[in-house]
A and B are shown apart, each in its own frame.
Chain A
Amino acid sequence: MAEVQTREKRILRILSIPMALLALSAIYPVFFAINAALKTRKGYVLDRFGITTDPTFANFSQAWNQSRLSEYFYNSVVVTVGAVLVLLVVASMAGFALAILRFRGRKIIFITILVSLMIPVQVVLVPFYRTMIGLNLIDSRPGLIIAYTAFFLPFSVYLMTAFYARLPRELFEAAQIDGANLLKVWWHIMLPMGKPALVTLGILNTLYCWNDVLISLLVLQDQRTLMVGIAALRGEYTTNVPLLAAGICLAAAPIVILYVIFQRQIVNGIAVGAVKG
Protein backbone atom coordinates (compact mmCIF):
# COMPACT_ATOMS: atom_id res chain seq x y z
CA MET A 1 0.00 0.00 0.00
CA ALA A 2 2.71 2.44 1.00
CA GLU A 3 4.71 1.31 -2.00
CA VAL A 4 1.82 2.15 -4.33
CA GLN A 5 1.57 5.59 -2.80
CA THR A 6 5.24 6.43 -3.19
CA ARG A 7 5.11 5.25 -6.79
CA GLU A 8 2.11 7.47 -7.37
CA LYS A 9 3.94 10.41 -5.82
CA ARG A 10 6.98 9.79 -7.97
CA ILE A 11 4.86 9.80 -11.13
CA LEU A 12 3.24 13.06 -10.07
CA ARG A 13 6.63 14.59 -9.33
CA ILE A 14 7.91 13.64 -12.78
CA LEU A 15 4.76 14.99 -14.43
CA SER A 16 5.17 18.29 -12.63
CA ILE A 17 8.17 19.03 -14.90
CA PRO A 18 6.21 19.35 -18.16
CA MET A 19 3.52 21.14 -16.19
CA ALA A 20 6.08 23.66 -15.00
CA LEU A 21 7.24 24.20 -18.59
CA LEU A 22 3.66 24.84 -19.63
CA ALA A 23 3.34 27.30 -16.75
CA LEU A 24 6.46 29.10 -18.00
CA SER A 25 4.88 29.38 -21.43
CA ALA A 26 1.82 30.96 -19.83
CA ILE A 27 4.00 33.65 -18.25
CA TYR A 28 6.55 34.16 -21.02
CA PRO A 29 4.52 36.40 -23.38
CA VAL A 30 3.84 38.89 -20.60
CA PHE A 31 7.47 38.76 -19.54
CA PHE A 32 8.45 39.36 -23.16
CA ALA A 33 6.16 42.40 -23.39
CA ILE A 34 7.49 43.96 -20.20
CA ASN A 35 11.08 43.31 -21.20
CA ALA A 36 10.58 44.73 -24.71
CA ALA A 37 8.79 47.80 -23.35
CA LEU A 38 11.82 48.67 -21.25
CA LYS A 39 14.18 48.70 -24.25
CA THR A 40 14.89 51.53 -26.64
CA ARG A 41 13.92 50.92 -30.23
CA LYS A 42 17.55 50.49 -31.16
CA GLY A 43 18.22 48.31 -28.16
CA TYR A 44 15.36 46.05 -29.19
CA VAL A 45 16.61 45.68 -32.76
CA LEU A 46 20.08 44.79 -31.51
CA ASP A 47 18.91 42.31 -28.90
CA ARG A 48 15.26 41.29 -28.99
CA PHE A 49 15.22 38.59 -26.37
CA GLY A 50 17.92 39.34 -23.79
CA ILE A 51 16.93 40.80 -20.46
CA THR A 52 17.35 44.52 -20.62
CA THR A 53 20.21 45.90 -18.55
CA ASP A 54 19.50 49.55 -19.16
CA PRO A 55 15.73 50.00 -18.76
CA THR A 56 14.04 53.08 -20.16
CA PHE A 57 10.55 54.36 -19.45
CA ALA A 58 10.42 56.55 -22.54
CA ASN A 59 8.16 54.09 -24.36
CA PHE A 60 5.58 54.28 -21.61
CA SER A 61 5.39 58.05 -21.65
CA GLN A 62 5.32 58.12 -25.44
CA ALA A 63 2.48 55.56 -25.58
CA TRP A 64 0.62 57.34 -22.80
CA ASN A 65 0.91 60.86 -24.26
CA GLN A 66 1.59 60.83 -28.00
CA SER A 67 -0.38 57.70 -28.81
CA ARG A 68 -3.32 59.03 -26.79
CA LEU A 69 -3.51 55.98 -24.55
CA SER A 70 -4.25 58.26 -21.58
CA GLU A 71 -7.44 59.36 -23.30
CA TYR A 72 -8.41 55.77 -24.20
CA PHE A 73 -7.58 54.66 -20.68
CA TYR A 74 -9.97 57.27 -19.32
CA ASN A 75 -12.71 56.12 -21.70
CA SER A 76 -12.23 52.51 -20.67
CA VAL A 77 -12.36 53.36 -16.96
CA VAL A 78 -15.55 55.42 -17.33
CA VAL A 79 -17.30 52.83 -19.49
CA THR A 80 -16.22 49.83 -17.41
CA VAL A 81 -17.14 51.37 -14.07
CA GLY A 82 -20.45 52.64 -15.43
CA ALA A 83 -21.42 49.37 -17.08
CA VAL A 84 -20.46 47.26 -14.06
CA LEU A 85 -22.53 49.43 -11.70
CA VAL A 86 -25.57 49.33 -13.99
CA LEU A 87 -25.14 45.58 -14.49
CA LEU A 88 -25.02 44.90 -10.76
CA VAL A 89 -28.10 47.01 -9.99
CA VAL A 90 -30.18 45.65 -12.86
CA ALA A 91 -29.12 42.03 -12.27
CA SER A 92 -29.70 42.20 -8.54
CA MET A 93 -33.17 43.68 -8.97
CA ALA A 94 -34.13 41.10 -11.57
CA GLY A 95 -32.60 38.26 -9.55
CA PHE A 96 -34.57 39.35 -6.47
CA ALA A 97 -37.87 39.38 -8.36
CA LEU A 98 -37.22 36.14 -10.24
CA ALA A 99 -35.99 34.17 -7.24
CA ILE A 100 -38.17 35.46 -4.41
CA LEU A 101 -41.31 37.14 -5.69
CA ARG A 102 -44.21 35.31 -7.23
CA PHE A 103 -45.83 36.89 -10.26
CA ARG A 104 -47.35 35.76 -13.52
CA GLY A 105 -44.90 35.16 -16.35
CA ARG A 106 -41.96 34.82 -13.97
CA LYS A 107 -40.64 31.69 -15.60
CA ILE A 108 -41.16 33.00 -19.13
CA ILE A 109 -39.23 36.16 -18.29
CA PHE A 110 -36.38 34.14 -16.77
CA ILE A 111 -36.23 31.91 -19.85
CA THR A 112 -36.38 34.94 -22.18
CA ILE A 113 -33.38 36.49 -20.47
CA LEU A 114 -31.47 33.19 -20.59
CA VAL A 115 -32.42 32.60 -24.22
CA SER A 116 -30.77 35.86 -25.21
CA LEU A 117 -27.50 34.11 -24.30
CA MET A 118 -27.73 32.46 -27.69
CA ILE A 119 -27.84 35.86 -29.41
CA PRO A 120 -24.24 37.07 -29.30
CA VAL A 121 -23.46 40.45 -30.78
CA GLN A 122 -22.20 38.94 -34.06
CA VAL A 123 -25.61 37.44 -34.75
CA VAL A 124 -27.35 40.83 -34.53
CA LEU A 125 -24.47 43.02 -35.68
CA VAL A 126 -26.32 44.91 -38.43
CA PRO A 127 -29.69 45.51 -36.72
CA PHE A 128 -28.01 46.18 -33.36
CA TYR A 129 -25.87 48.85 -35.00
CA ARG A 130 -28.97 50.40 -36.57
CA THR A 131 -30.82 50.27 -33.24
CA MET A 132 -27.94 52.17 -31.64
CA ILE A 133 -28.07 54.80 -34.39
CA GLY A 134 -31.86 55.04 -34.06
CA LEU A 135 -31.63 55.61 -30.31
CA ASN A 136 -28.83 58.13 -30.78
CA LEU A 137 -26.44 55.99 -28.75
CA ILE A 138 -23.66 55.70 -31.33
CA ASP A 139 -20.28 57.17 -30.49
CA SER A 140 -21.20 57.96 -26.91
CA ARG A 141 -19.90 56.50 -23.69
CA PRO A 142 -23.39 56.10 -22.19
CA GLY A 143 -24.30 54.22 -25.37
CA LEU A 144 -21.42 51.82 -24.85
CA ILE A 145 -22.40 51.38 -21.19
CA ILE A 146 -25.91 50.41 -22.27
CA ALA A 147 -24.58 48.07 -24.96
CA TYR A 148 -22.29 46.30 -22.47
CA THR A 149 -25.15 45.96 -20.00
CA ALA A 150 -27.39 44.43 -22.65
CA PHE A 151 -24.80 41.90 -23.76
CA PHE A 152 -23.30 40.88 -20.41
CA LEU A 153 -26.58 40.89 -18.47
CA PRO A 154 -28.02 37.37 -18.91
CA PHE A 155 -25.28 35.56 -17.03
CA SER A 156 -25.47 38.12 -14.22
CA VAL A 157 -29.23 37.75 -13.90
CA TYR A 158 -28.85 33.99 -13.93
CA LEU A 159 -26.24 34.04 -11.19
CA MET A 160 -28.15 36.47 -8.96
CA THR A 161 -31.36 34.46 -9.38
CA ALA A 162 -29.58 31.22 -8.51
CA PHE A 163 -27.89 32.88 -5.54
CA TYR A 164 -31.04 34.48 -4.10
CA ALA A 165 -33.06 31.31 -4.61
CA ARG A 166 -30.80 29.56 -2.11
CA LEU A 167 -31.11 32.14 0.66
CA PRO A 168 -33.40 31.23 3.57
CA ARG A 169 -36.87 32.59 2.93
CA GLU A 170 -37.49 33.58 6.55
CA LEU A 171 -35.41 36.69 5.93
CA PHE A 172 -37.91 38.21 3.53
CA GLU A 173 -40.92 37.00 5.41
CA ALA A 174 -39.65 38.78 8.50
CA ALA A 175 -39.10 41.95 6.50
CA GLN A 176 -42.56 41.69 5.03
CA ILE A 177 -44.09 41.41 8.49
CA ASP A 178 -42.22 44.55 9.46
CA GLY A 179 -44.07 46.22 6.64
CA ALA A 180 -41.06 47.14 4.56
CA ASN A 181 -41.87 47.72 0.92
CA LEU A 182 -40.13 45.80 -1.85
CA LEU A 183 -37.70 48.57 -2.68
CA LYS A 184 -36.61 48.71 0.97
CA VAL A 185 -36.32 44.93 1.14
CA TRP A 186 -34.13 44.97 -1.94
CA TRP A 187 -31.94 47.80 -0.67
CA HIS A 188 -31.60 46.75 2.98
CA ILE A 189 -31.65 42.97 2.66
CA MET A 190 -31.10 41.71 -0.86
CA LEU A 191 -28.13 43.90 -1.78
CA PRO A 192 -26.16 43.20 1.42
CA MET A 193 -27.07 39.50 1.38
CA GLY A 194 -26.11 39.22 -2.25
CA LYS A 195 -22.64 40.59 -1.65
CA PRO A 196 -20.65 37.42 -2.41
CA ALA A 197 -22.38 36.98 -5.77
CA LEU A 198 -22.20 40.70 -6.51
CA VAL A 199 -18.45 40.76 -5.86
CA THR A 200 -17.94 37.82 -8.22
CA LEU A 201 -20.09 39.45 -10.90
CA GLY A 202 -18.41 42.80 -10.39
CA ILE A 203 -15.01 41.29 -11.07
CA LEU A 204 -16.08 39.12 -13.99
CA ASN A 205 -17.98 41.94 -15.69
CA THR A 206 -15.01 44.26 -15.17
CA LEU A 207 -12.92 41.74 -17.09
CA TYR A 208 -15.49 41.44 -19.88
CA CYS A 209 -15.98 45.19 -20.31
CA TRP A 210 -12.32 46.13 -20.04
CA ASN A 211 -11.25 43.39 -22.46
CA ASP A 212 -14.00 43.83 -25.06
CA VAL A 213 -13.09 44.99 -28.53
CA LEU A 214 -15.97 44.10 -30.88
CA ILE A 215 -18.81 46.01 -29.20
CA SER A 216 -16.55 48.98 -28.61
CA LEU A 217 -15.41 49.02 -32.26
CA LEU A 218 -19.02 49.04 -33.32
CA VAL A 219 -20.42 51.63 -30.90
CA LEU A 220 -17.59 54.15 -30.60
CA GLN A 221 -16.25 55.89 -33.68
CA ASP A 222 -14.36 59.09 -32.93
CA GLN A 223 -13.59 57.94 -29.41
CA ARG A 224 -11.82 54.73 -28.52
CA THR A 225 -11.53 52.39 -25.60
CA LEU A 226 -8.14 51.09 -24.59
CA MET A 227 -8.35 47.72 -26.37
CA VAL A 228 -9.40 49.34 -29.65
CA GLY A 229 -6.51 51.76 -29.15
CA ILE A 230 -4.06 48.87 -28.67
CA ALA A 231 -5.39 47.12 -31.76
CA ALA A 232 -4.81 50.34 -33.73
CA LEU A 233 -1.36 50.75 -32.20
CA ARG A 234 -0.55 47.23 -33.35
CA GLY A 235 -1.48 48.24 -36.89
CA GLU A 236 0.44 51.52 -36.86
CA TYR A 237 3.64 50.46 -35.13
CA THR A 238 4.45 47.03 -36.50
CA THR A 239 8.15 47.88 -36.45
CA ASN A 240 8.29 49.83 -33.20
CA VAL A 241 7.81 46.86 -30.91
CA PRO A 242 8.98 48.57 -27.68
CA LEU A 243 6.28 51.25 -28.06
CA LEU A 244 3.61 48.65 -28.79
CA ALA A 245 4.83 46.56 -25.85
CA ALA A 246 4.60 49.58 -23.55
CA GLY A 247 1.00 50.14 -24.68
CA ILE A 248 0.23 46.48 -24.05
CA CYS A 249 1.68 46.69 -20.54
CA LEU A 250 -0.35 49.82 -19.73
CA ALA A 251 -3.55 48.23 -21.03
CA ALA A 252 -3.02 44.92 -19.25
CA ALA A 253 -1.78 46.34 -15.94
CA PRO A 254 -5.20 47.00 -14.33
CA ILE A 255 -6.37 43.47 -15.16
CA VAL A 256 -3.16 41.86 -13.95
CA ILE A 257 -3.41 43.79 -10.67
CA LEU A 258 -7.08 42.82 -10.35
CA TYR A 259 -6.19 39.18 -10.93
CA VAL A 260 -3.42 39.19 -8.36
CA ILE A 261 -5.71 40.75 -5.72
CA PHE A 262 -8.93 38.89 -6.48
CA GLN A 263 -7.52 35.62 -7.75
CA ARG A 264 -9.70 33.52 -5.48
CA GLN A 265 -12.96 35.29 -6.37
CA ILE A 266 -12.19 35.15 -10.09
CA VAL A 267 -11.28 31.48 -9.95
CA ASN A 268 -14.38 30.61 -7.93
CA GLY A 269 -16.60 32.80 -10.09
CA ILE A 270 -15.63 30.89 -13.21
CA ALA A 271 -16.47 27.57 -11.61
CA VAL A 272 -19.86 28.76 -10.37
CA GLY A 273 -21.41 28.50 -13.81
CA ALA A 274 -20.56 24.84 -14.03
CA VAL A 275 -20.97 23.44 -10.58
CA LYS A 276 -23.81 24.36 -8.36
CA GLY A 277 -22.31 25.74 -5.22
Chain B
Amino acid sequence: MTETVIAKDSKSAATPRRKSGGHNAERLAYLFVLPALALVVVFRIIPLIWGLGYSFTDYDGMSQPRFVGFDNYIGIAHDPVFLDSLVNMLILLATLPIWIGLPLVLAILIHQGVPGGKIFRAVYFFPAVLSSVIVGAIFNVLLRYDGSFNLFLKAMGFSAVDWLGNSSTALFSLIAVQLWSTFGMSLLIFIAGLSTVSSEMLEAAKLDGAKLLQMWWHIVIPSIRPIIEFAAVVTTIGMLTSMFGLIYVLTAGGPGTSTILPEFLIWLEQGKMNRPGYASAISMVLFLMMAGLAAIQIRIMSRNADI
Protein backbone atom coordinates (compact mmCIF):
# COMPACT_ATOMS: atom_id res chain seq x y z
CA MET B 1 0.00 0.00 0.00
CA THR B 2 1.31 3.45 -0.82
CA GLU B 3 1.68 5.73 2.14
CA THR B 4 0.39 8.81 0.37
CA VAL B 5 -0.43 11.25 3.09
CA ILE B 6 -3.29 13.11 1.54
CA ALA B 7 -4.23 14.89 4.70
CA LYS B 8 -0.77 16.25 5.33
CA ASP B 9 -2.20 19.36 3.82
CA SER B 10 0.85 21.50 3.18
CA LYS B 11 -0.69 23.71 0.52
CA SER B 12 -3.73 25.15 2.26
CA ALA B 13 -1.86 25.81 5.46
CA ALA B 14 0.84 27.44 3.30
CA THR B 15 3.14 27.98 6.24
CA PRO B 16 6.61 26.64 6.77
CA ARG B 17 5.32 24.78 9.80
CA ARG B 18 3.91 21.85 7.91
CA LYS B 19 3.49 19.88 11.06
CA SER B 20 0.78 22.10 12.52
CA GLY B 21 -1.14 21.86 9.26
CA GLY B 22 -0.90 18.10 9.58
CA HIS B 23 -2.29 18.22 13.08
CA ASN B 24 -5.22 20.30 11.91
CA ALA B 25 -6.11 17.85 9.21
CA GLU B 26 -5.69 15.02 11.65
CA ARG B 27 -8.12 16.65 14.03
CA LEU B 28 -10.59 17.10 11.17
CA ALA B 29 -10.21 13.45 10.29
CA TYR B 30 -11.31 12.52 13.79
CA LEU B 31 -14.41 14.65 13.33
CA PHE B 32 -15.28 12.55 10.28
CA VAL B 33 -15.15 9.25 12.14
CA LEU B 34 -16.54 10.58 15.40
CA PRO B 35 -20.28 10.15 14.64
CA ALA B 36 -19.83 6.54 13.59
CA LEU B 37 -17.54 5.74 16.47
CA ALA B 38 -19.74 7.47 19.05
CA LEU B 39 -22.89 5.63 17.93
CA VAL B 40 -21.19 2.27 18.06
CA VAL B 41 -19.53 2.94 21.42
CA VAL B 42 -22.57 4.43 23.15
CA PHE B 43 -25.18 1.96 21.92
CA ARG B 44 -23.21 -1.25 21.58
CA ILE B 45 -19.83 -1.38 23.25
CA ILE B 46 -20.66 0.39 26.53
CA PRO B 47 -23.94 -1.57 26.85
CA LEU B 48 -21.95 -4.77 26.33
CA ILE B 49 -19.63 -3.92 29.23
CA TRP B 50 -22.60 -2.72 31.27
CA GLY B 51 -24.42 -6.00 30.59
CA LEU B 52 -21.36 -7.98 31.58
CA GLY B 53 -21.43 -6.09 34.88
CA TYR B 54 -25.17 -6.76 35.37
CA SER B 55 -24.63 -10.45 34.82
CA PHE B 56 -22.62 -10.65 38.04
CA THR B 57 -25.22 -8.86 40.19
CA ASP B 58 -28.63 -9.66 41.66
CA TYR B 59 -30.04 -6.38 40.32
CA ASP B 60 -33.83 -6.54 40.25
CA GLY B 61 -34.50 -3.25 38.50
CA MET B 62 -35.08 -1.28 41.69
CA SER B 63 -32.94 -1.97 44.75
CA GLN B 64 -29.19 -1.49 44.93
CA PRO B 65 -27.41 -4.15 42.85
CA ARG B 66 -25.24 -6.57 44.84
CA PHE B 67 -22.29 -8.54 43.47
CA VAL B 68 -23.18 -12.22 43.40
CA GLY B 69 -20.30 -13.72 41.44
CA PHE B 70 -21.35 -16.46 39.06
CA ASP B 71 -24.76 -17.04 40.67
CA ASN B 72 -26.66 -15.96 37.56
CA TYR B 73 -24.58 -18.26 35.38
CA ILE B 74 -25.13 -21.16 37.77
CA GLY B 75 -28.82 -20.23 37.74
CA ILE B 76 -29.16 -20.40 33.96
CA ALA B 77 -27.19 -23.65 33.86
CA HIS B 78 -29.98 -25.14 35.99
CA ASP B 79 -32.83 -23.39 34.17
CA PRO B 80 -34.74 -25.99 32.12
CA VAL B 81 -36.00 -23.32 29.72
CA PHE B 82 -32.49 -22.10 28.99
CA LEU B 83 -31.27 -25.69 28.53
CA ASP B 84 -34.18 -26.35 26.17
CA SER B 85 -33.23 -23.26 24.17
CA LEU B 86 -29.66 -24.55 23.89
CA VAL B 87 -30.85 -27.95 22.68
CA ASN B 88 -33.10 -26.24 20.12
CA MET B 89 -30.14 -24.17 19.00
CA LEU B 90 -27.94 -27.25 18.61
CA ILE B 91 -30.62 -28.92 16.48
CA LEU B 92 -30.77 -25.78 14.35
CA LEU B 93 -26.98 -25.67 14.00
CA ALA B 94 -26.91 -29.33 13.02
CA THR B 95 -28.92 -28.46 9.90
CA LEU B 96 -26.14 -26.17 8.61
CA PRO B 97 -25.04 -28.59 5.84
CA ILE B 98 -28.48 -28.23 4.24
CA TRP B 99 -28.28 -24.41 4.47
CA ILE B 100 -25.00 -24.54 2.56
CA GLY B 101 -25.56 -27.56 0.31
CA LEU B 102 -28.94 -26.56 -1.12
CA PRO B 103 -27.92 -23.08 -2.32
CA LEU B 104 -24.53 -24.38 -3.45
CA VAL B 105 -26.04 -27.03 -5.72
CA LEU B 106 -28.56 -24.53 -7.08
CA ALA B 107 -25.82 -21.94 -7.64
CA ILE B 108 -23.72 -24.46 -9.57
CA LEU B 109 -26.69 -25.42 -11.72
CA ILE B 110 -27.45 -21.78 -12.45
CA HIS B 111 -23.79 -21.14 -13.20
CA GLN B 112 -23.75 -24.14 -15.56
CA GLY B 113 -26.50 -22.44 -17.54
CA VAL B 114 -29.66 -24.26 -16.51
CA PRO B 115 -32.56 -22.98 -18.67
CA GLY B 116 -34.21 -20.01 -16.93
CA GLY B 117 -31.27 -19.53 -14.55
CA LYS B 118 -31.59 -15.75 -14.35
CA ILE B 119 -35.26 -16.02 -13.44
CA PHE B 120 -34.55 -18.69 -10.84
CA ARG B 121 -31.92 -16.48 -9.25
CA ALA B 122 -34.32 -13.54 -8.93
CA VAL B 123 -37.22 -15.68 -7.70
CA TYR B 124 -35.22 -17.69 -5.17
CA PHE B 125 -33.89 -14.53 -3.62
CA PHE B 126 -37.30 -12.86 -3.49
CA PRO B 127 -38.42 -14.25 -0.07
CA ALA B 128 -35.18 -12.95 1.47
CA VAL B 129 -36.25 -9.33 0.96
CA LEU B 130 -39.51 -9.90 2.82
CA SER B 131 -39.62 -9.18 6.54
CA SER B 132 -39.61 -12.23 8.77
CA VAL B 133 -42.88 -10.82 10.13
CA ILE B 134 -44.48 -11.08 6.70
CA VAL B 135 -43.06 -14.56 6.12
CA GLY B 136 -44.09 -15.70 9.60
CA ALA B 137 -47.63 -14.33 9.32
CA ILE B 138 -48.22 -16.03 5.96
CA PHE B 139 -46.75 -19.37 7.03
CA ASN B 140 -48.70 -19.24 10.25
CA VAL B 141 -51.78 -19.56 8.03
CA LEU B 142 -50.27 -21.96 5.47
CA LEU B 143 -49.02 -24.42 8.10
CA ARG B 144 -52.27 -24.61 10.08
CA TYR B 145 -54.01 -27.93 10.30
CA ASP B 146 -56.45 -26.81 7.59
CA GLY B 147 -53.79 -24.85 5.68
CA SER B 148 -52.44 -25.11 2.14
CA PHE B 149 -49.50 -27.30 3.06
CA ASN B 150 -51.64 -30.05 4.56
CA LEU B 151 -54.02 -29.79 1.61
CA PHE B 152 -51.04 -30.41 -0.66
CA LEU B 153 -49.86 -33.34 1.47
CA LYS B 154 -53.31 -34.91 1.46
CA ALA B 155 -53.45 -34.56 -2.31
CA MET B 156 -50.16 -36.46 -2.45
CA GLY B 157 -51.61 -39.21 -0.26
CA PHE B 158 -50.02 -38.24 3.07
CA SER B 159 -51.90 -37.44 6.24
CA ALA B 160 -52.21 -33.95 7.66
CA VAL B 161 -49.96 -32.79 10.51
CA ASP B 162 -50.43 -29.92 12.94
CA TRP B 163 -47.04 -28.50 12.03
CA LEU B 164 -46.94 -25.57 14.45
CA GLY B 165 -49.12 -26.97 17.23
CA ASN B 166 -47.09 -30.11 17.77
CA SER B 167 -43.91 -29.81 19.81
CA SER B 168 -42.13 -32.48 17.77
CA THR B 169 -42.68 -30.68 14.45
CA ALA B 170 -42.76 -26.99 15.44
CA LEU B 171 -38.98 -26.52 15.57
CA PHE B 172 -38.49 -28.22 12.22
CA SER B 173 -41.25 -26.10 10.72
CA LEU B 174 -39.55 -22.98 12.06
CA ILE B 175 -36.18 -24.08 10.66
CA ALA B 176 -37.68 -25.01 7.29
CA VAL B 177 -39.47 -21.67 6.93
CA GLN B 178 -36.33 -19.72 7.81
CA LEU B 179 -34.32 -21.84 5.35
CA TRP B 180 -36.96 -21.32 2.66
CA SER B 181 -36.91 -17.57 3.15
CA THR B 182 -33.14 -17.03 3.36
CA PHE B 183 -31.33 -19.59 1.19
CA GLY B 184 -31.41 -17.07 -1.66
CA MET B 185 -28.84 -15.03 0.23
CA SER B 186 -26.20 -17.80 0.18
CA LEU B 187 -27.23 -18.59 -3.38
CA LEU B 188 -26.25 -15.07 -4.49
CA ILE B 189 -22.96 -15.28 -2.62
CA PHE B 190 -22.15 -18.60 -4.30
CA ILE B 191 -23.10 -17.39 -7.77
CA ALA B 192 -20.83 -14.36 -7.29
CA GLY B 193 -18.05 -16.67 -6.15
CA LEU B 194 -18.49 -19.06 -9.06
CA SER B 195 -18.15 -16.21 -11.54
CA THR B 196 -14.54 -15.85 -10.36
CA VAL B 197 -13.63 -19.46 -11.20
CA SER B 198 -11.45 -19.42 -14.28
CA SER B 199 -13.22 -20.90 -17.26
CA GLU B 200 -9.94 -21.97 -18.84
CA MET B 201 -9.35 -24.34 -15.96
CA LEU B 202 -12.79 -25.81 -16.51
CA GLU B 203 -12.25 -26.12 -20.27
CA ALA B 204 -8.94 -27.90 -19.67
CA ALA B 205 -10.63 -30.31 -17.30
CA LYS B 206 -13.37 -30.94 -19.84
CA LEU B 207 -10.81 -31.76 -22.52
CA ASP B 208 -9.24 -34.22 -20.09
CA GLY B 209 -12.60 -35.96 -20.08
CA ALA B 210 -13.65 -35.00 -16.55
CA LYS B 211 -17.29 -35.73 -15.87
CA LEU B 212 -19.57 -32.95 -14.72
CA LEU B 213 -19.81 -34.20 -11.15
CA GLN B 214 -16.05 -34.77 -10.91
CA MET B 215 -15.42 -31.30 -12.19
CA TRP B 216 -17.66 -29.74 -9.54
CA TRP B 217 -16.21 -31.80 -6.74
CA HIS B 218 -12.53 -31.58 -7.63
CA ILE B 219 -12.22 -28.18 -9.28
CA VAL B 220 -15.18 -25.86 -8.73
CA ILE B 221 -15.93 -26.44 -5.06
CA PRO B 222 -12.28 -26.29 -3.86
CA SER B 223 -11.73 -23.08 -5.80
CA ILE B 224 -14.60 -21.30 -4.05
CA ARG B 225 -13.82 -22.75 -0.64
CA PRO B 226 -13.20 -19.34 0.99
CA ILE B 227 -16.64 -18.23 -0.23
CA ILE B 228 -18.24 -21.36 1.21
CA GLU B 229 -16.52 -20.73 4.53
CA PHE B 230 -17.75 -17.15 4.51
CA ALA B 231 -21.31 -18.24 3.76
CA ALA B 232 -21.13 -20.86 6.54
CA VAL B 233 -20.02 -18.25 9.08
CA VAL B 234 -22.64 -15.72 8.01
CA THR B 235 -25.36 -18.39 8.03
CA THR B 236 -24.37 -19.58 11.50
CA ILE B 237 -24.40 -16.02 12.85
CA GLY B 238 -27.83 -15.65 11.28
CA MET B 239 -29.00 -18.81 13.06
CA LEU B 240 -27.94 -17.35 16.40
CA THR B 241 -29.25 -13.82 15.93
CA SER B 242 -31.73 -13.49 13.05
CA MET B 243 -34.50 -15.86 14.07
CA PHE B 244 -36.30 -13.51 16.47
CA GLY B 245 -38.82 -12.04 14.04
CA LEU B 246 -39.89 -15.41 12.70
CA ILE B 247 -40.20 -16.99 16.16
CA TYR B 248 -42.15 -13.96 17.40
CA VAL B 249 -44.76 -14.23 14.67
CA LEU B 250 -44.76 -17.91 13.67
CA THR B 251 -44.73 -19.77 17.00
CA ALA B 252 -44.02 -17.28 19.84
CA GLY B 253 -41.62 -19.89 21.20
CA GLY B 254 -44.26 -22.57 21.62
CA PRO B 255 -45.73 -25.02 21.99
CA GLY B 256 -44.09 -25.15 25.40
CA THR B 257 -40.42 -24.36 24.93
CA SER B 258 -40.08 -26.23 21.66
CA THR B 259 -39.17 -23.22 19.49
CA ILE B 260 -37.44 -20.99 22.06
CA LEU B 261 -33.92 -20.10 20.99
CA PRO B 262 -31.51 -18.19 23.29
CA GLU B 263 -32.13 -14.87 21.50
CA PHE B 264 -35.88 -15.26 22.04
CA LEU B 265 -35.39 -16.25 25.69
CA ILE B 266 -33.41 -13.04 26.26
CA TRP B 267 -36.40 -11.12 24.94
CA LEU B 268 -38.80 -13.00 27.23
CA GLU B 269 -36.53 -12.41 30.22
CA GLN B 270 -36.02 -8.73 29.51
CA GLY B 271 -39.81 -8.32 29.19
CA LYS B 272 -40.20 -9.50 32.78
CA MET B 273 -38.04 -6.50 33.75
CA ASN B 274 -37.37 -7.79 37.25
CA ARG B 275 -34.09 -9.61 36.81
CA PRO B 276 -31.86 -7.85 34.28
CA GLY B 277 -28.87 -9.64 35.78
CA TYR B 278 -30.30 -13.00 34.81
CA ALA B 279 -31.22 -11.87 31.29
CA SER B 280 -27.75 -10.38 30.90
CA ALA B 281 -26.12 -13.68 31.83
CA ILE B 282 -27.98 -15.37 28.95
CA SER B 283 -26.90 -12.49 26.71
CA MET B 284 -23.28 -13.05 27.64
CA VAL B 285 -23.49 -16.74 26.76
CA LEU B 286 -24.91 -15.78 23.36
CA PHE B 287 -22.16 -13.18 23.01
CA LEU B 288 -19.43 -15.75 23.64
CA MET B 289 -20.85 -17.95 20.91
CA MET B 290 -21.11 -14.95 18.58
CA ALA B 291 -17.64 -13.69 19.34
CA GLY B 292 -15.81 -16.71 17.99
CA LEU B 293 -17.84 -16.70 14.80
CA ALA B 294 -17.68 -12.97 14.30
CA ALA B 295 -13.92 -12.93 14.81
CA ILE B 296 -13.63 -15.18 11.77
CA GLN B 297 -16.04 -13.00 9.80
CA ILE B 298 -14.20 -9.81 10.71
CA ARG B 299 -10.90 -11.35 9.66
CA ILE B 300 -12.37 -12.14 6.26
CA MET B 301 -13.91 -8.66 5.97
CA SER B 302 -10.81 -6.69 6.97
CA ARG B 303 -8.77 -8.81 4.58
CA ASN B 304 -11.18 -7.81 1.83
CA ALA B 305 -11.32 -4.13 2.81
CA ASP B 306 -7.57 -4.07 2.42
CA ILE B 307 -6.79 -1.02 4.54
Contact = CB atoms under 8 A, between A and B. Distances in A.
A16 B116 contact: yes
Nearest to A110: B307
Contacts of B280: 126-127
A241 B135 CA distance: 14
Nearest to B190: A274
A4 to B, nearest CB: 8
B278 to A, nearest CB: 9
A37 to B, nearest CB: 11
B137 A120 contact: no
Contacts of B153: none
B137 A259 contact: no
- Counting contact residues on chain B (CB < 8 A from A), the size range is 35 or more
B236 interface: no
Given A126-B276, A267-B188, A255 B40 contact: no
Interface stretch (B62-70, B90-98, B140-148, B167-175): B140-148
Given A32-B148, A211-B131, A274-B231, A234 B140 contact: yes
B7 A102 contact: yes
Contacts of B8: 102
B139 A149 contact: no
B4 A173 contact: yes
Given A103-B29, A123-B286, A127-B280, A26 B307 contact: no
A90 interface: yes
A126 B138 contact: no
Contact of B126 (A27, A97, A125, A276): A27
B294 A117 contact: yes
B283 interface: yes
9 contacts: A20-B120, A49-B148, A119-B48, A176-B6, A176-B9, A214-B244, A248-B137, A251-B134, A270-B188
Interface of A: 4, 8, 11-13, 15-16, 19-20, 22-23, 25-30, 32-33, 36, 48-49, 90-91, 93-94, 96-104, 106-107, 109-120, 122-131, 146-147, 149-151, 153-154, 157-158, 161-162, 165-166, 169, 172-173, 176-177, 179-183, 186, 207, 210-214, 217, 227-228, 230-231, 233-234, 241, 244-245, 248, 251-252, 255-256, 258-259, 263, 266-267, 270-271, 273-277
**9 residue pairs, one from A and one from B, having the closest CB atoms:** A118-B294, A271-B192, A211-B131, A150-B43, A97-B32, A94-B36, A127-B47, A124-B47, A127-B50
